Amino acid sequence: MGKLKYPMSAILNERGMYLFGDIFPDKMIPVLTPLSGETKLEGVGKSGIYLINLTLLRREDEPTYQKLLKKLSDKFKVSIDSLDEECNKHGLPLRAELVSSVRIDMRFII
């Protein structure tokens, strides 16, 4: 895998690419931290998650951000505006089971 598109990227696995490869063909989704957290997702139960770095995605790649909102809006049958508002308020989790690894673009590690 070549240069990272974002400073910190979750790399989608095969299942992640099946679900989101049309939006993230390079497999990279910007995340806020390299560590996954745990939450309870409706209809799923406890799940490991990464929080997508929506601020960076919006700033660096607005068309991709809009495609993601459109896909989720269609899936959950909500308006893009209300989804955007909800994501800005609470963040947008990415299930850890869709991620193979997290890569960080840095020159030095102590």
What the block records as the tokens of 7 is 């400073």
- 61-99 pLDDT, tens digit per residue, is 999 999 999 999 999 999 999 999 999 898 999 999 999
**Residue 2 belongs to a domain:** no
Confidence of residue 105 (pLDDT cuts 50, 70, 90): confident
* 31 domain-assigned: yes
Give the pLDDT of residue 82.
94
Q: Is 39 exposed, middle or buried (0-12, 13-18, 19+ CB in 10 A)?
A: middle
pLDDT at 44: 79
Structural domain includes residue 3? no
Q: Decide if 45 is inside a domain.
A: yes
Q: What's the domain count of the chain?
A: 1
Please report the pLDDT score of residue 4 as a whole number: 67
Length of the chain: 110
Between CA 104 and CA 60 the distance in angstroms is: 17
**109 within a domain of the structure (yes/no):** no
**The pTM is what?**
0.87
Q: Is residue 53 part of a domain?
A: yes
The 10s digit of each residue's pLDDT in 2-53 is: 566 788 999 999 999 999 999 999 999 999 999 999 988 788 789 999 999 9
Asked whether residue 110 is assigned to any structural domain, the reply reads: no
Q: Is residue 97 part of a domain?
A: yes
Residue span of the structural domain in which 97 resides: 8-104
pLDDT category at 106 given cuts 50, 70, 90 is confident
Is the pLDDT at 1 greater than 70? The verdict is no
The DSSP 8-state label assigned to residue 30 in this structure reads E
